[in-house]
Copies of this chain bind each other. A is one copy, B any other.
Amino acid sequence: MKMPKADKDDLMTPTPATSVSGTPFKLGVLDQVMNFRMLRIRNLLTARYREETSKLGLRPGSFGALAIIEANPGIAQIDVAKVGGYDQTALVCILDDFEARGWATRARDPSDRRRHRVEITDAGREALSGLLERALQNERPARDALDTNELAALRNAIDKIYTRLFLS
């Protein structure tokens, strides 16, 4: 049976066998898949963070939405959805929650009354600051695994990929 091989396969040396209760297991062809490698560390990075924020009753994506609202005063809901990659209907729940917490306000746009201008409040900014701190603290171990050059290289590679994928 023939298995396809990744391009530049020589760069893709196998991941150390995953050890479960002393016995080593292999990942097989998954070693060739870059997306799988990224998935694993993302799952590890996100698990604890999700656990913490869900205790606060926050939906996944709340942090991102709040950050986008803070950075773009008066942005319309639909643009928050587009920028953050959310479903528009999911945002309705998130913003209902933000209003209930006093983190953001909705107001009709006078120049286009279909639109709701969304603004962050001072309480929202304070909450955002706390959420950012948690997020940074959460990925601290990942950052600390790399030296300055390695971190810069990772950042460079990720942004190059994003630019390529997003613009094509």
Contact = CB atoms under 8 A, between A and B. Distances in A.
Interface of A: 1-4, 6-8, 11-12, 15-16, 18, 20-21, 23, 25-30, 32-46, 49, 64, 67-68, 70-72, 75, 79, 82-83, 85, 122, 125-126, 128-129, 132-133, 135-136, 138-146, 148, 150-166, 168
Contacts of A38: 38, 41-42, 45, 158
Nearest to A165: B44
Given A33-B136, A146-B161, 14 more contacts: A3-B128, A3-B129, A4-B133, A18-B83, A30-B67, A30-B71, A34-B139, A34-B154, A41-B161, A141-B164, A141-B165, A150-B156, A153-B153, A154-B157
A142 B6 CA distance: 12
Contacts of A82: 20-21
Contact of A32 (B23, B126, B132, B150): B132
Chain A facing B: main interface SS:
helix
In the A-B complex, the 3 residue pairs with the closest CB atoms: A28-B71, A145-B164, A153-B153
A46 B35 contact: yes
A8 B40 CA distance: 24
